[in-house]
Amino acid sequence: MPSCKTVVSFFVPFTKKVVESNRYDKEVSYIWAKTYYECNKMINNLTGELVEYLKDFNATAATVQATHGFDEQLLKGQWSHKSAAYIAGLGELGVHSLLITEKGCAGRLGTVFLDINIEASKKQISEKSPCLYYLNGSCLECVDNCPTNALSIDDLNRALCYEKCLLADNIYTDLGPCDSCGKCSIGPCAYFE
């Protein structure tokens, strides 16, 4: 969108119930997978409707889908919701390479591009890292919980991780695309009430 002047970034947190549902089994819980699927769908609907709505105000807007817009070989997308959210000040990265927002890391991100200027909102997070490992060397629950060892302190094997996430599509065939795992998003930084 060459005329873009403002990038709106937002985070939809999962609830405590969703996070806790994913703590008791090796496989992703049904509640987590369903929430992942429904939340992506909701973000796509919301941003799509917003783009239409803004036309009435002579504003041009655009969006990119919440997920599945990436190259499945390279495992990289043309747009990173996470990088945008980080730059927008919505949170800080943890060892798990996820953004830890003021509501936690369990949830989904979305982006809308606007051709109008909107003043940036203030950064929401404190100067201290919300990741306990970066703060004081403790925790590492995300690394310990990773069922594939795709995650280590300083690396993420995207191929291994994606392979694990795709298994959810085979387990919960009544859902739409729900390729998720979330076992690195259930530690102390998962949600903040």
Give the interface size with ligand SF4 as a residue count (CB under 6 A).
25
178 binds ligand SF4 (CB under 6 A): no
Residue whose C-beta lies closest to ligand SF4: 94
Minimum CB–partner distance for residue 141 and ligand SF4 (Å): 4
HEC string of the chain equals CCCCCEEEEEEEECCHHHHHHCCCCCCCCHHHHHHHHHHHHHHHHHHHHHHHHHHCCCCCEEECCCCCCEECCCCEECCCHHHHHHHHCCEEECCCCCEEECCECCEEEEEEEECCCCCCCCCCCCCCCCCHHHHHCCCCHHHHHCCCCCEECCEECHHHHHHHHHHHHHHCCCCCCCCCCCCCCCCCCCCCC
> Which positions from 129 through 168 interact with ligand SF4, judged by CB under 6 A?
131-133, 139-142, 145-146, 148, 150-151, 156, 161, 164-165
Select from 8-16, 50-58, 91-99, 168-176 the region that touches ligand SF4 (CB under 6 A).
91-99
Site string for ligand SF4, 94-123 (x = CB under 6 A): xxx---------------------------
Residues that bind ligand SF4 (CB under 6 A): 94-96, 131-133, 139-142, 145-146, 148, 150-151, 156, 161, 164-165, 181, 183-184, 187-189
